[in-house]
Amino acid sequence: DSTLRTLAAARGLRIGSAVSAGALAQEQGYRDKLRYEFNGVTPENAMKWSQVEPAQGQYTWGDADAIVDFAQQNGQTVRGHALVWHNSLPDWLTGGGFTDEQLRASLKQHIETMMTRYAGRVGVWDVVNEAFNEDGTLRPSIWLNRLGSGYIADAFRWARAADPAAKLYINDFNAEWANPKSDALYALVRDLRAQGVPIDGVGFQTHVTTGSALSQLGATLARFAGLGVDVAVTELDVRMPLPADDAKLTTQATVYRRAVDACLAVARCVSLTVWGFTDAHSWVPAAIPGWGAADLLGENLQPKPAYLSVRDALAAR
């Protein structure tokens, strides 16, 4: 009877999961777990530019709409993901021979189209995703290369104008501990805020392994919260070298628990989202060969030690 969702709600925390549109459409067991265990959802892929506008001007809203409808029916907050990213862009955009000004207009229109369509139904957006290199320089994406570094401030201003009620986040990975990337992200958010750029929160993806202790996550969340923004764990998963065994699963459970404890300890850590909740639908094995078993539930939706440790962390006082 005590689900992650009910326990998290009692702590004032939103607990979410990335959602596979395919699994949502096809699997009743998946739908049931998603609605019982989580009060937040992030479309794993369905709102990416290449998915919603595969041909210029021709929108395919089916998967995104299905996720948003499900969330509304089940009282879940949607994190829209991701408006400005270097990845999963449509070919017509990247190979289209557009001028810089046309690209800039396309990006503005994309933000306006997405946010207007889902205004009132998507409460939080990852506006800018993965803008940094590991050394703290800006990633040489199509956006940086063609529009210059001002694209980040522009994107947030366009986003605020498109849906003034939405919470606007910058989101990245490998910023969960002290390193050049984390420092650069911190400096950017500080400077944007000082310039009045509308940024409400910082998302820490937290794609980690069973070898990561996550010992600095709490301090990092607190440091960024000190800038006066919300913070969130946005894409948590803890992969292991396959095959899984009891020792690895136990270690994984401690890493998940550490993430939950870190977020609970920081008042402005408003949500914790896992990047998929079942090993049956994880991005990891396809993307990182030899690794997997990264999620809270197993292939048959059975609770793993990690699920139990997250539940314990949410229940602890």
Q: Which is nearer to ligand G3I, 187 or 287 (CB)?
A: 287
Please state, in angstroms and rounded to a whole number, the distance separating the CA atoms of residues 186 and 265.
20
**Catalytic one of 101, 130, 235, 299:** 235
Q: Which is nearer to ligand G3I, 144 or 222 (CB)?
A: 144
CB of 126 to ligand G3I, least distance (A): 8
Alpha helices in the chain (DSSP H): 4-10, 21-26, 28-37, 49-52, 62-73, 91-94, 100-117, 142-147, 151-162, 180-194, 217-225, 246-264, 284-287, 305-315
Residues in region 266-295 near ligand G3I by CB under 6 A: 283, 287
CB of 296 to ligand G3I, least distance (A): 16
By rule CB under 6 A, what count of residues binds ligand G3I?
A: 9
CB of 164 to ligand G3I, least distance (A): 25
CB of 203 to ligand G3I, least distance (A): 10
Q: Which residue has the tokens 């449509």?
A: 90
Kindly list the distances between the CA atom of residue 92 and the CA atoms of 44, 96, 114, in Å, as whole numbers in the listed order. 22, 5, 18
Among 26, 88, 94, 302, binds ligand G3I (CB under 6 A): 88
Q: Map residues 24-43 to x or -, x wherever contact with ligand G3I holds by CB under 6 A.
A: --------------------
Q: Map residues 209-248 to x or -, x wherever contact with ligand G3I holds by CB under 6 A.
A: --------------------------x-------------
Residues in region 246-265 near ligand G3I by CB under 6 A: none
Cα dihedral: 108, 109, 112, 113 (round 10): -150
Check binding of 205 to ligand G3I (CB under 6 A). Answer: yes
Max CA distance (Å), the chain: 58
Q: Which is nearer to ligand G3I, 213 or 287 (CB)?
A: 287
Helix (H, G, I), strand (E, B) or coil at 203: strand
CB of 228 to ligand G3I, least distance (A): 25
Please confirm, yes or no, whether 53 is among the known catalytic residues: no
Residues in region 111-170 near ligand G3I by CB under 6 A: none
Check binding of 79 to ligand G3I (CB under 6 A). Answer: no
Q: Which is nearer to ligand G3I, 78 or 314 (CB)?
A: 78
Cα dihedral: 86, 66, 12, 263 (round 10): -30
Long-range contacts of 281-288 (CB under 8 A, 24+ apart): 281/20, 281/23, 281/30, 282/237, 283/44, 284/237, 284/239, 285/242, 288/239
Write the single-letter amino acid at 130. E
Residue 247 contacts by C-beta under 8 Å, 6 or more apart in sequence? Answer: none
Which residues contact ligand G3I (rule: CB under 6 A)? 44-45, 48, 87-88, 205, 235, 283, 287
Residues marked active site are found at 235
